[in-house]
Amino acid sequence: MAKSIAKTAQEPHFFDDVSAFFDHAAQFTKHPQGLLNQIKVCNSVYRFSFPFRRGDQIEVINAWRVEHSQHMSPTKGGIRYSDMVNEDEVMALAALMTYKCAIVNVPFGGAKGGIAINPKNYSVSELENITRRYTVELIKKNFIGPAIDVPAPDYGTGEREMSWIADTYTTMNPGQLDAFGCVTGKPLSLHGISGRKAATGRGVAIAIRECMDVAEDMKGIGLTPGITGKRVIIQGLGNVGYNTAKVLIEFGAIIVGVCEYDGALYNPDGLDPDAILEHRKNTGSILGYKKATQSFKTPAEGLEQACDILVPAALENQLTEENIGRIKAKVIAEGANGPTTPGAADAFVKNGGIIIPDMYCNAGGVTVSYFEWLKNLSHVSFGRMDKRYEEMSNLNLVNTVETITGKSLTSAQRMAIVKGADELELVNSGLEDTMIRSYHEIREIKNSNQAIDTLRTAAFVGSINKIAVSYQNLGIWP
Ligand code: NAD
């Protein structure tokens, strides 16, 4: 009989949550306990503080970088700026990165970083100083480098911060050919890759579409198959939430609800994420947006409105045992890391819902980060070498078919067939393939054993097995 992962009286901390999910899944593997312990533990936890001058005051900044597992190198994971960042959170997020990379076959170990600041309280030049000093602290301890540990954006950071990190690292490592591979999520003009910014959200949307397309699973939860017309509520209209919403609309879904830190909006006929962001830019809040039929001053209320799919894409611990009973969605797609506590997840699934787990659902970002790192190591953009060759081959084929059949294509048809793929198309194609394959791999693991109760457990089983093989192949030295 499988052990339950639900904790009763008190909800545990985030790293304990991830460990609880791990232990639950480990029951369905056959690895020695010592190896499982090695996989679960955080290998290196670097906590540091540094002074920051603000006017004539000195402020102490607390920061972390955690490398969870070196079963593959380099390690990889985002950097978060939030005044709620703490060691437990960074450890949990680093661990999730290890499992996430294994799930989508990205050959990295997991890592995560954080600086305990609210970026809204600092000017751009102050943020630059803090980011550069953070990077120098990582360099001093060998916690960053294209073959060591490669950060990326996360909550509160983006292309701008990644540029500062890249510039600091390359300045401190003159002549290092692959230095720009020290960080991903950089802007295109600084050796970034097309499609990285939207990749996590695009991946979340593909994960949802894949889940909704399985007729048998949809029947089980009383929904018709397919994404078209499905009602979605998004929590957090930042990088992940915004891009998820945009791609879901492209796929035919309706964004009926949006929850932000300053309130929530609802309209059963659909909301326009761009118009909401424009409204916030002009007024300072999403509240007051005229095309919403309902508004909520308490953001959490927005999560509880009628919908088919809920996408938490803000922070961890948003769905707890306290509010999960009021959630009307049938599917939770975890865009954020750790948004559902184990107790809440257990209750939701027991009540007949499906959770698309974070470690798979938001893995699109690290997948495209991997492509960016490959681009940085190869020093050439994807498609540059073969686009024209591909177009000429396609043209020859079209000409041959036209000659044999005696029929001609219109110039629009001709263009569509002949055109070679550019970097964005290649990146999106690689991302889509990864998300589709990984979903069905997880689903197959789940269906292979009736005792494997959820997609999350199945995802953990798959990644534990892959990481175990990796550790076993490496051996132990000395
Ligand atoms: P972001 O900073 O771009 O966006 C977060 C958004 O959430 C902001 O708009 C913020 O205002 C909003 N928010 C904050 N508190 C909220 C609350 N209580 N209720 C509603 N909204 C709230 O961050 P992001 O990069 O989109 O990351 C969001 C989540 O996705 C995090 O858990 C992060 O770890 C995860 N994630 C991000 C990436 C990535 O590539 N950026 C990759 C994988 C996972």
What H or E segment, with its residue span, contains residue 376? Answer: helix 364-378
CA of 241 to the centre of ligand 1 (A): 7
CA of 217 to the centre of ligand 1 (A): 29
Query: Ligand 1 within 6 A of 193 CB?
Result: no
Binding-site members for NAD(+) are 200, 239
Query: Ligand 1 within 6 A of 154 CB?
Result: yes
CA of 351 to the centre of ligand 1 (A): 27
Is 90 exceeded by the pLDDT of residue 12?
Answer: no
Query: Ligand 1 within 6 A of 299 CB?
Result: yes
Question: How many residues are there in the chain?
Answer: 478
Burial of 268 (0-12, 13-18, 19+ CB in 10 A): middle
Query: Ligand 1 within 6 A of 184 CB?
Result: no
pLDDT tens, position by position, 346-372: 999 999 999 999 999 999 999 999 999
pLDDT tens, position by position, 313-353: 999 999 999 999 999 999 999 999 999 999 999 999 999 99
pLDDT at 59: 98
Ligand 1, closest atom to CA 358?
Answer: 44
pLDDT at 11: 46
Rounded to an integer, what distance in angstroms lies between the CA atom of residue 408 and that of residue 415? 13
pLDDT tens, position by position, 122-169: 999 999 999 999 999 999 999 999 999 999 999 999 999 999 999 999
pLDDT tens, position by position, 182-226: 999 999 999 999 999 999 999 999 999 999 999 999 999 999 999
Q: What percent of the chain has pLDDT over 90?
A: 97
Is 80 exceeded by the pLDDT of residue 2?
Answer: no
Which residues does 185 contact at the CB level (< 8 Å), separation at least 6? Answer: 78, 152, 153, 158, 159, 162, 192, 196, 197, 365, 369, 372
Ligand 1, closest atom to CA 362?
Answer: 43
Encoding tokens for residue 110? 């997991």
pLDDT at 1: 42
- Confidence category of residue 13, pLDDT binned at 50, 70, 90: confident
Binding-site members are 76, 100, 200, 239, 369
pLDDT at 275: 98
Segment 453-477 mean pLDDT: 97
Residue-by-residue DSSP string for 162-179: HHHHHHHHHHHSTT-TTG
Encoding tokens for residue 408? 């001609």
Ligand 1, closest atom to CA 337?
Answer: 32
Q: Which of 239, 280, 427 to mutate to test the pocket of ligand 1 (most atoms within 8 A of CB)?
A: 239
Question: Catalytic residue positions?
Answer: 112
Q: Which of 115, 287, 315 to mutate to test the pocket of ligand 1 (most atoms within 8 A of CB)?
A: 315
Is 90 exceeded by the pLDDT of residue 88?
Answer: yes
pLDDT at 213: 98
Rounded to an integer, what distance in angstroms lies between the CA atom of residue 430 and that of residue 453? 30
Q: Which amino acid makes up residue 130?
A: I
Rounded to an integer, what distance in angstroms lies between the CA atom of residue 405 and that of residue 414? 15
Tokens 């989508």 — which residue? 104
Is 90 exceeded by the pLDDT of residue 4?
Answer: no
Segment 56-74 mean pLDDT: 98
Average pLDDT, the chain: 96
pLDDT at 277: 98
Query: Ligand 1 within 6 A of 259 CB?
Result: yes
Ligand 1, closest atom to CA 80?
Answer: 34
CA of 238 to the centre of ligand 1 (A): 5
Is 90 exceeded by the pLDDT of residue 7?
Answer: no
Cis peptide leading into 12, omega within 30 of 0?
no
pLDDT at 9: 41
* CA distances in angstroms from 467 to 62, 122, 210, 410, listed in the order given: 31, 40, 25, 52
Query: Ligand 1 within 6 A of 156 CB?
Result: yes
Query: Ligand 1 within 6 A of 244 CB?
Result: no
Encoding tokens for residue 20? 């609880």
Is 70 exceeded by the pLDDT of residue 97?
Answer: yes
Rounded to an integer, what distance in angstroms lies between the CA atom of residue 242 and that of residue 240? 6
Encoding tokens for residue 321? 């045992």
